[in-house]
Amino acid sequence: MTLKEMDQTYVLPTYARNYVHFVRGENSMLYDADGNDYVDFGSGIAVCSVGHGNPRLADAICDQAKKLIHTSNLYLIEPQARLAKRLAELSGYDVQTFFANSGAEANEGAIKIARRYGEVEGEVKRYKIITLEHSFHGRTITALKATGQEAMHTYFGPFPDGFVYARDIDHVYDLIDDHTVAVMIELVQGEGGVQPMEKEAVRRLSEALKKQDILLIVDEVQTGIYRTGEVLASNLYEITPDIVTLAKGLGGGVPIGAIMTTHKGILKAGDHGSTFGGNFLSTRAALEVLDILEGHKESGELDHMMLLFEERLKSIAAAHPELFEKEVGVGFMRGLRVKEGRDASEIINAAFKERVVVLKAGKNTVRFLPVLTITKEEMDLGFERFETALASL
């Protein structure tokens, strides 16, 4: 039985897999079982923030694994406490943090915090949460309902009540009523097509919600941990959310989620929990990721490479008006909007044939989520291959 046959026989077919067999990686490069190299402009969907095979992260994981991997949250976990402190310091927010295992779990926890706030603050029980159309907040039942895409609500019902969807930020105001407890947004919609929110509109919304005692939840599962150039996209937008959710790049590939909230003590013992969340291994990995990326930011290399990457994408968009409408995005969360009548999947498949990994977002956007430690040589090679792919179309 081949590995592909084994996968198809024993693994639930929930993914439209490409059956390339990657066996190792080095920063932005992936290598398959036949020794072919690929430039990875997807980084495991914004997860491998410090690159593949990062020696510092590997050493930290191995060192921790030799000591303790897990004891449960019934006991003190030193790297968890240190990570919570570090996130507060780096973000500049006065927060406490709960650790989970994924972005969907983080968003579930954020919704629970908001609902608890709506029960204890105010004269009327508040439970409604406004999210945006084209948003994506996860695959659990409640996170799916929070996702503002009707296609996500076709199966798996009945879903929890209490979610309404705004066309855009300006429409949010029209949906607020006496039972509204929170607004949940992504500052750059990732799965929704690499759609950055307008900064002034976000700031106005943040101020308006504070005046009405309505919580602002910012889903930073994809935008967080330097993906947009700052520790959080919320820092870039110069706002202070009530709740921020993190996952993806925080662990550099080790599963971890986090819920940061300014409402300290809102949850008491027994209100929420996780068996694995915030264990020794995941939080030790996250601490090393933050150390690596903080140094990369302070050196100026992160901002420099982001600028070069943006310039290359704009150049490609300008050179291929028959394929692309424009370049979009922020930092290392970018995309090429494909022209109507052309298929993003065709471009993605052509790129893969040239051994460069890019992703799809929304209906028709080619998405680029490179590792944050990408080198100029890796970037140049990737775009050289991508241009070759475009020439073949």
Structural domains of the chain sorted by starting position, each given as residue range(s) with its CATH number in brackets: 57-266+273-298 (3.40.640.10)
pLDDT of residue 363: 87
Phi, psi of 38 (to 5 degrees): -130, 140
Identify the helix (H) or strand (E) that includes residue 329.
strand 324-330
pLDDT above 90 for 88: yes
How far is residue 251's CA from residue 240's CA, in Å, rounded to a whole number? 23
Confidence of residue 121 (pLDDT cuts 50, 70, 90): confident
How far is residue 223's CA from residue 4's CA, in Å, rounded to a whole number? 33
Token reading at 6:
């084994």
pLDDT of residue 252: 98
Mean pLDDT of 2-9: 96
* pLDDT more than 70, % of the chain: 100
pLDDT of residue 191: 85
pLDDT of residue 124: 87
How far is residue 44's CA from residue 251's CA, in Å, rounded to a whole number? 12
Mean pLDDT of 152-158: 91
pLDDT above 90 for 91: yes
Please tell me what DSSP assigns to residue 254.
S
pLDDT digits (tens, 9 = 90+) for 237-256: 999 999 999 999 999 999 99
Long-range CB contacts for residues 32-36, cutoff 8 Å, separation at least 24: 36/355
pLDDT of residue 181: 98
Contact between 150 and 301 (Cβ < 8 Å): no
Mean pLDDT of 100-124: 95
How far is residue 236's CA from residue 74's CA, in Å, rounded to a whole number? 36
Global pTM value: 0.96
DSSP string across 50-61 = T-BT-HHHHHHH
Looking up tokens 């908001």 gives 114
Confidence of residue 337 (pLDDT cuts 50, 70, 90): very high
Mean pLDDT of 282-291: 98
For residue 196, the one-letter residue type is: P
Token reading at 97:
């943090």
Q: Is residue 44 helix, strand or coil? A: helix
Please tell me what DSSP assigns to residue 106.
H
Counting beta carbons within 10 angstroms of the beta carbon of residue 175, is it exposed (0 to 12), middle (13 to 18) or buried (19 or more)?
A: middle
